[in-house]
């Protein structure tokens, strides 16, 4: 039988000091009621992979698949019991910034979704179809997912990250790798490894609000579109939001998001985004819980009020609220380059570009008075810009890349690059870089951009 290896208590003891730093982001925490001292325990090393990807959202799946296809042995750790992140756990079913010559995995995912017949329009999808498409992509690339496992710590040897520690029903487990990718959205692994990060608006420190998506049935596209409540057939997005807001007010509810939207997935299957939860930190468990409870209550109020109106809403059903409230913004981990709003204004080009992004700066109201409770571009007109590989490589530690919304950028840049078409493209680049680094016994910053592009 293979001997199990353990990380000793001594190695883990050193972690306590870096783990505490993530508390900087828990603005509004209620404070502690004292401390208990828990003796450090040995942690079994259950895996030695080339690449460990933490977080199986759009960025993490793309990273794992790209690393797997590059010949690396890959483990993908995911907190939920399925892949997709905001696409599935938060039921946001629209891929933005998916064009822009993004030929790689974005195009593959769109083609695979189209084959399932689970789409009315390209770029929108049925959540269950997405879960299945992503799982198959990973398995075909030789990636081994580990579900229902939360990354809770990192172990370092000097500057180099050597293990990710996870907790799941098996207990605490350590996974060793030649290179790690933090695709948790919130930058959990990087923060635990002691990386510095930025948080929120540069002046107020506020982050974008959270929203919970609801899936609705018992309504029909043609009837809703005829009344302009949903986009399509000559009804613009702006017009549909205004008409739906007026309809909600007629029903006696004023939603906390002032541009409420219905997304048509199939003729009789819709997603609704109608709420903003302000002032909650995505890395504060109690605040996320409170925001979740408030958002779900608001969705029930809205659905009940619409059904009472009768007419097109008579048979309206709330099919599901998202298992995970959608967190737009959390840690922005310090990388070797920090993408800025100025880069967006000048359409920056970089020699180590991994992706061309063009989505607008999309800042959802930071408080109920900001941007009319809706969203704004904060006066920034984006000229399509490059995302450089250096923004994906951690500055404060070695052996760690970021992909997705936790890469290195300022408040305004994040408000544009965070959408999922870009998250996938960043993931692909991070995955290839990590595979080349790990298999060649190098660190990610030692891998040349030409090798990655090949």
Ligand X SMILES: Cc1cc2nc3c(=O)[nH]c(=O)nc-3n(C[C@H](O)[C@H](O)[C@H](O)COP(=O)(O)OP(=O)(O)OC[C@H]3O[C@@H](n4cnc5c(N)ncnc54)[C@H](O)[C@@H]3O)c2cc1C
Q: Which residues bind ligand X (CB under 6 A)?
A: 54-60, 77-80, 85-86, 89-90, 92, 94-96, 150-151, 183-186, 188, 211, 326-328, 404-405, 418-421, 423
Nearer to ligand X, 75 or 228 (CB): 75
Phi, psi of 349 (to 5 degrees): -115, 140
Nearer to ligand X, 86 or 265 (CB): 86
Nearer to ligand X, 130 or 437 (CB): 130
Nearer to ligand X, 312 or 390 (CB): 390
Smallest CA-to-CA distance from 225 within 217, 236, 213, 211 is with 236
User: Minimum distance between the CB of residue 363 and ligand X, rounded to whole angstroms?
Assistant: 12
Q: Report the DSSP beta bridge partners of residue 386.
A: 356
Smallest CA-to-CA distance from 429 within 390, 374, 385, 381 is with 390
400-402 and 171-182 as β-strands: parallel, antiparallel, unpaired? parallel
User: Minimum distance between the CB of residue 422 and ligand X, rounded to whole angstroms?
Assistant: 8
Instruction: Return the H-helix or E-strand segment holding 348.
Output: none
- Give, in degrees to the nearest 5, the angle at Cα 47 between 46 and 50: 165
Nearer to ligand X, 218 or 368 (CB): 368
How far apart are the two ends of the chain, measured CA to CA in Å?
A: 41
Phi, psi of 2 (to 5 degrees): -70, 135
User: Minimum distance between the CB of residue 325 and ligand X, rounded to whole angstroms?
Assistant: 8
43-54 and 74-77 as β-strands: parallel, antiparallel, unpaired? parallel
Nearer to ligand X, 18 or 89 (CB): 89
User: Minimum distance between the CB of residue 150 and ligand X, rounded to whole angstroms?
Assistant: 4
In angstroms, rounded to a whole number, what is the distance separating the alpha carbons of residues 293 and 217? Answer: 22
Smallest CA-to-CA distance from 387 within 339, 446, 448, 449 is with 339
User: Minimum distance between the CB of residue 421 and ligand X, rounded to whole angstroms?
Assistant: 6
Nearer to ligand X, 79 or 321 (CB): 79
Nearer to ligand X, 85 or 444 (CB): 85
In angstroms, rounded to a whole number, what is the distance separating the alpha carbons of residues 145 and 128? Answer: 18
User: Minimum distance between the CB of residue 131 and ligand X, rounded to whole angstroms?
Assistant: 11
DSSP 221-273: HHHHHHTTSS-BTTB-HHHHHHHHHHHHHHTT---SSSS-EEEEEETTEEEEE
In angstroms, rounded to a whole number, what is the distance separating the alpha carbons of residues 428 and 109? Answer: 13
Nearer to ligand X, 54 or 66 (CB): 54
User: Minimum distance between the CB of residue 428 and ligand X, rounded to whole angstroms?
Assistant: 12
Tokens representing residue 380 in the block: 């920034």
Whether the Cβ atoms of residue 417 and residue 346 lie closer than 8 Å to each other: no
Nearer to ligand X, 46 or 309 (CB): 46
User: Minimum distance between the CB of residue 78 and ligand X, rounded to whole angstroms?
Assistant: 5
Burial zone of 66 (CB within 10 Å; 0-12 exposed, 13-18 middle, 19+ buried)? buried
**Burial letters for 32-44: b for 16+ Cβ neighbours within 10 Å, e otherwise?**
eeeeeeeeeebbe
């Amino acid at each position: 039988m293979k001997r199990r290896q353990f990380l000793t208590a001594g190695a883990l003891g050193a972690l306590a000091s870096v783990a505490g730093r993530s508390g900087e982001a828990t603005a509004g925490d209620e404070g502690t009621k004292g401390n208990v001292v828990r003796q450090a325990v040995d942690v079994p090393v259950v895996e030695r992979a080339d690449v460990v990807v933490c977080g199986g959202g759009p960025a993490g799946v793309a990273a794992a698949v790209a690393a797997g296809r590059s010949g690396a042995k890959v483990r993908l750790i995911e907190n939920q019991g399925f892949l997709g992140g905001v696409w599935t756990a938060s039921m946001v079913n629209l891929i933005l910034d998916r064009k822009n010559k993004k030929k790689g995995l974005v195009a593959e995912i769109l083609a695979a979704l189209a084959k399932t017949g689970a789409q009315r329009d390209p770029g929108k999808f049925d959540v269950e179809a997405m879960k299945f498409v992503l799982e198959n992509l990973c398995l075909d690339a030789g990636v081994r997912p580990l579900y229902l496992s939360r990354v809770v710590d990192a172990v370092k040897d000097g500057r180099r990250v050597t293990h990710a520690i996870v907790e799941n029903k098996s207990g605490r487990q350590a996974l060793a790798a030649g290179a790690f990718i933090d695709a948790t959205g919130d930058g959990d692994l990087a923060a635990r490894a002691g990386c510095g990060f930025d948080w929120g608006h540069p002046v107020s420190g506020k982050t974008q609000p959270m929203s919970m998506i609801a899936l609705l049935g018992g309504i029909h596209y043609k009837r809703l579109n005829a009344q302009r409540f949903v986009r399509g057939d000559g009804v613009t997005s702006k017009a549909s939001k205004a008409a739906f807001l007026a309809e909600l007010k007629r029903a006696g509810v004023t939603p906390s998001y002032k541009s409420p939207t219905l997304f048509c997935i199939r003729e009789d299957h819709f997603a609704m985004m109608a709420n903003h939860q302000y002032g909650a930190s995505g890395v504060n468990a109690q605040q996320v819980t409170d925001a979740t409870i408030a958002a779900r209550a608001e969705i029930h109020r809205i659905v009940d009020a619409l059904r009472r109106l009768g007419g097109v809403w008579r048979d309206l059903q709330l099919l599901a609220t998202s298992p995970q409230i959608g967190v737009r913004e959390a840690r922005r981990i310090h990388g070797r380059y920090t993408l800025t709003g100025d880069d967006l204004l000048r359409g920056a080009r970089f020699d180590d570009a991994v992706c061309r992004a063009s989505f607008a700066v999309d800042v959802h109201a930071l408080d109920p008075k900001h941007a009319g409770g809706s969203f704004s571009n904060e006066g920034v007109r984006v000229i399509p810009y490059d995302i450089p590989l250096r923004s994906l490589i951690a500055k404060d530690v070695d052996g760690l890349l970021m992909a997705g919304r936790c890469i290195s950028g300022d408040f305004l840049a994040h408000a544009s690059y965070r959408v999922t078409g870009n998250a996938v493209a960043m993931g692909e680049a991070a995955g290839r870089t990590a595979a080349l680094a790990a298999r060649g016994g190098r660190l990610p910053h030692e891998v040349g951009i030409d090798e990655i592009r090949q």
